[in-house]
Amino acid sequence: MKKIIALSICTILGTLAGYFAAPILSMAAAQSSDPDIFAVAMLANYKNSVVCDCLGQPVKESAKGLSEYLSILQKFREKNQKSAVPAQELGLTYVRLSLVERRLDEQSHADEDMKHGQAELATIGWKDTSSTHLTFLVTQLNSEYKPADGNKKTVAAAATTPR
Amino acid sequence: MKAIRFISFCLGCVLVSVAAGAATCVIRAKYWYLPNVKANLAYSYAGFFSEYAVLQSNQASAQDGKTALLQYLGILQRFQSEKIGYPENLLHLYSGQTYLRLYRLEVVTKNPAKADEYLRSAERELAIQGHKEITPEQLIRYTQALEASEAKFYNGNTGIPVPVDEQKP
Q: What tens digit of pLDDT does each residue of B101-137 get?
A: 999 999 989 999 999 999 999 999 988 888 778 888 8
| Out of B16, B34, B156, closest to residue A11 by CB | B16
Of chain A, the end-to-end C-alpha distance in Å amounts to 71
> Hey, is the C-beta of A151 within 8 angstroms of any chain B C-beta?
no
Are A41 and B26 within 8 A, CB to CB?
A: no
> Hey, is the C-beta of B14 within 8 angstroms of any chain A C-beta?
yes
DSSP H helices, chain B, are 2-28, 34-59, 62-81, 88-108, 112-129, 136-155
Q: What pLDDT was estimated at residue B14?
A: 92
Q: What pLDDT was estimated at residue B87?
A: 85
Q: What pLDDT was estimated at residue A53?
A: 56
Q: pTM of the prediction? A: 0.80
Closest CA to A6 of B48, B23, B15, B88: B15
**Pairwise CA distance, residues B152 & B75, whole Å:** 28
Tell me which chain B residue has its CA closest to the CA of residue A123.
B60
Residue B138 has pLDDT above 50, yes or no: yes
Q: What pLDDT was estimated at residue A148?
A: 43
Q: Which residue has the higher pLDDT, A130 or B169?
A: A130
- Tens-digit pLDDT string for chain A (163 aa): 888 898 899 999 999 999 999 999 999 998 898 888 898 899 888 888 888 655 667 888 889 999 999 999 999 888 877 778 889 999 999 999 999 999 999 999 999 999 999 999 999 999 999 999 999 999 898 887 755 444 444 443 433 344 3
Q: What pLDDT was estimated at residue B134?
A: 82
Residues 67-126 of B with CB under 8 A from A: 67-68, 93, 97, 126
Tell me which chain A residue has its CA closest to the CA of residue B127.
A162
Q: How many CA atoms lie within 13 A of B54 on its CB side?
A: 24
Are A161 and B55 within 8 A, CB to CB?
A: no
**Pairwise CA distance, residues B90 & A155, whole Å:** 15
Closest CA to A156 of B47, B4, B2: B47
Q: What pLDDT was estimated at residue A162?
A: 43
Q: What pLDDT was estimated at residue A151?
A: 46
Cβ atoms < 10 Å from Cβ of B147: 19
- pLDDT for B31-70, tens place per residue? 989 988 988 899 899 999 999 999 999 999 999 999 999 9
